């Protein structure tokens, strides 16, 4: 019975979207960790993406509401360790980002090339040119950097590797 509820919650969470990336759900983002029962109810573990991401509170509320619509005795547990990493974003979600004009994080976590002062190649999500320019490491949201394509001249967001 509880296991069925957990399965149903898992399925329902596929409809809970990230408010800043409305074409991606919280499961694809890798924000939902374990879903388990502790006797008192169902616990959904959420890992925040950035410390100050204003979407985290909204996401936690949305996840709770979705879970409680299936199982009244549900609650959220915020898990900080291990820290969220862009490595947890699914491959399918990365493709969706690209289709929506956002260059997805590439390779494994910590954007070492940038941090070591080297600019890594982020292909333009629109024309696929590798001739792009980092305008600013800080973009429209905490998770994105601002780039411009030198080929098609289009500005675009890049989801930073963390």
Partner 1 sequence: MTKDEHFEWLLWLADDALILAQRLSEWCGHAPVLEEDIALSNIALDLIGQSRAFYAHAGQLEGLGRDEDQLAFFRTDRDFRNLLLVEQPNGDFGDTIARQFFFDQFALLRFTHLAQQSFDTEVAAIATKALKEVRYHAAHSAEWMIRLGDGTEESHQRIQESVNRLWEYTGECFEPNSFQTAAEKANVLPHAESAHKEWLATITSILSQATLSVPNGTWMQKGGRQGGHSEHLSYILAEMQVLPRTYPDAQW
Smallest separation (angstroms) from partner 1 to the CB of 137:
6
What are the DSSP E strand ranges found in the chain? 17-18, 21-25, 32-37, 42-46, 74-78, 102-103, 132-136, 144-149, 155-159
Under a CB-based contact definition with an 8 Å cutoff, are residues 107 and 87 in contact? Answer: no
126 near partner 1, judged by CB under 8 A: no
- Please calculate the CA angle 41-16-8 and round it to the nearest 5 degrees: 45
State which of residues 2, 14, 58, 83 lies at the interface with partner 1 (CB under 8 A). Answer: 83
Residue nearer to partner 1 on the CB measure, 127 or 137 = 137
CA distance 50 to 52: 5
88 near partner 1, judged by CB under 8 A: no
- Stretch of residues binding partner 1 (CB under 8 A), selected from 5-13, 33-41, 119-127, 129-137: 129-137
Write out the residues near partner 1 by the rule CB under 8 A: 48, 50-54, 80-84, 110, 114-115, 117, 135-140, 142, 146, 160, 162
């Amino acid at each position: 019975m509880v296991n069925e509820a957990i399965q149903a919650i898992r399925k329902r969470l596929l409809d809970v979207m990230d408010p800043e990336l409305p074409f991606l759900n919280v499961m694809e983002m890798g924000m939902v960790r374990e879903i388990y029962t502790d006797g008192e109810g169902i616990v959904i573990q959420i890992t925040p993406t950035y410390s100050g991401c204003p979407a985290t509170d909204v996401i936690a509320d949305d996840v709770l509401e979705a879970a409680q619509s299936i199982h009244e005795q549900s609650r959220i547990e915020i898990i900080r360790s291990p820290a969220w990493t862009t490595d947890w974003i699914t491959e399918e979600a990365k493709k969706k980002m690209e289709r929506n004009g956002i260059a997805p994080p590439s390779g494994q976590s910590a954007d070492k090339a940038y941090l070591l002062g080297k600019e890594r190649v982020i292909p333009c999500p629109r024309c696929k040119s590798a001739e792009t320019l980092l305008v600013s490491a800080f973009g429209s949201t905490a998770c994105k950097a601002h780039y411009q394509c030198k080929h098609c001249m289009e500005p675009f967001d890049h989801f930073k590797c963390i």
